[in-house]
Structure 1
Amino acid sequence: METYMTNPEQYDELSEILKALSHPVRLCIVRGLLANGACNVSDMQNCLKAPQSTISQHISKLKACGIIKGEKRGLEIYYSVTNKKAAELINVLFD
């Protein structure tokens, strides 16, 4: 039998990514960022038809998990996907 537990930390990281992506809104945010490039909350709000406060909560969770990052441009913050494993998962799920 093969042993898969060569690096237990790897499972922790992947588990956290999967938890973060398990909500439909967060999944949609990450997929949209990958498809369209960097976006601000207003762009996401128009696309998702969800309140800004809801989107901001989901963005906070994605940032805390290291899946996305924000870059300030003037008065706006534009978010983009920075986690390669999360991007790969989205591409597999929606291929």
Structure 2
Amino acid sequence: MHTYKTNPEFFEQKSEILKALAHPVRLCIIQTLYNNGPTNVTDMHNCLDKPQSTISQHISKLKSANIIIGKRQGTEITYSIKNDEIKKIIQILF
């Protein structure tokens, strides 16, 4: 049995990640990025069958939670999962 030293900041950080993922659209976005690699909003829109504005709102929440990053290529922004910790979470979920 492991004994863990209480570290409120650690648990708060993990909680914030889980809160950000705790929405069906955001989970679908993350799963799409996990399965397809870097993807633009148009590709996510086609997969999710939601208005592009809805996808953009959820992308904004995922970006602010440091879960995804966007890379501009001309007029297009391609999004990807920011780190391996998120990839592990998605792998376990799906």
Q: How does 1:34-73 map to 2 (within 5 A)?
A: 34-73=34-73
Give the corresponding residue for 1:84. 84
Give the corresponding residue for 1:15. 15
Report sequence identity in percent: 60
Secondary structure of the residue aligned to 1:80 is: strand
The CA distance in 1 between the partners of 2:93 and 2:34, in whole Å, is 13
CA positional deviation for 1:5: 4.0
Give the corresponding residue for 2:33. 33
CA positional deviation for 1:34: 0.8
Secondary structure of the residue aligned to 2:39 is: coil
User: Please, what TM-score do these two structures have when normalized by structure 1?
Assistant: 0.92
Aligned residues: 94
Unpaired stretches in structure 1, ≥5 consecutive residues: none
RMSD: 1.4
- The residue type equivalent to 2:9 in the other structure is E
CA positional deviation for 1:87: 1.4
The CA distance in 2 between the partners of 1:83 and 1:61, in whole Å, is 16
Q: Deviations over 1:15-72 (max 9, x none)?
A: 0000000000000100110110001000100110000000000000000000000000
Unpaired stretches in structure 2, ≥5 consecutive residues: none
User: Please, what TM-score do these two structures have when normalized by structure 2?
Assistant: 0.92
